[in-house]
Amino acid sequence: MTSELPSMTLKTIGIVRNGIKQALPANSDWRKIVSHIVINSALTEALDGLEGFSHIIVLYWMHGVAVVGQVPTKVHPMGKQELPAVGLFATRSPYRPNPVGKATVRLLQCLGNTLKIEGLDAIDGTPVIDIKPYIPGYDSVTNAEIPQWMTNLLADHC
């Protein structure tokens, strides 16, 4: 299936700095956590104009959970053993074939090659692989539906 495809190797474009040395428990609230992303200085100019957006999308490599070999195909949502296991692609479990995280965060400040952001669920030292502007309508959905088990999880979480 993949024989004709190019190699897909990621480059680190920046590093997360927030002093959080290990992952918080699965149901933790990261929404108020302030982090800095220090972008590779050769890419500083690529941030021009980003400060006009209130929110950005951060793609990052979840190096703290990267595992060698097979990941489970089914998982208990948020590690809750009392809930039926579901397919991992129906969850945001970090244990994925490609441990790439995607977070939508508030951009508080853009200064030189450093972005100050709020709401990133990533630990200190996490490699950042992309920054994209958050675009309402393209990145958001009106009246999206989720299953009841996810609704219940979110209610527990808040």
Task: Convert residues 91-120 into a mask of x (bound to its own copies by CB under 8 A) and - (unbound).
Answer: xx---xxx-x-x-x----------------
User: What SS3 class is residue 109?
Assistant: strand
**Least distance in angstroms from the C-beta of 140 to its own copies:** 4
Which two tokens mark 7?
Answer: 């190699």
Residue entry with tokens 């195909």: 73
Looking at the Cβ atoms of 11 and 32, the one nearer to its own copies is 11
CA proximity to 14, closest of 98, 118, 133, 122: 122
**Least distance in angstroms from the C-beta of 89 to its own copies:** 4
Give the angle subtended at the CA of 52 by the CAs of 58 and 136, to the nearest 5°. 60
Q: Which of residues 19-48 bind its own copies (CB under 8 A)?
A: 40, 43, 45-48
Surface-to-core class of residue 35, CB atoms within 10 Å of its CB (0-12 exposed, 13-18 middle, 19+ buried)? buried
Phi and psi at residue 116, in whole multiples of 5°? -100, 125
CA proximity to 113, closest of 54, 22, 49, 42: 42
**Least distance in angstroms from the C-beta of 37 to its own copies:** 10
Task: Convert residues 54-83 into a mask of x (bound to its own copies by CB under 8 A) and - (unbound).
Answer: xx-x-x-x-x--x------xx---------
Q: Which of residues 125-154 bind its own copies (CB under 8 A)?
A: 127, 129-141, 143-150, 154
Interface residues with its own copies (CB under 8 A)?
1-2, 5-13, 15, 40, 43, 45-50, 52-55, 57, 59, 61, 63, 66, 73-74, 86-92, 96-98, 100, 102, 104, 127, 129-141, 143-150, 154
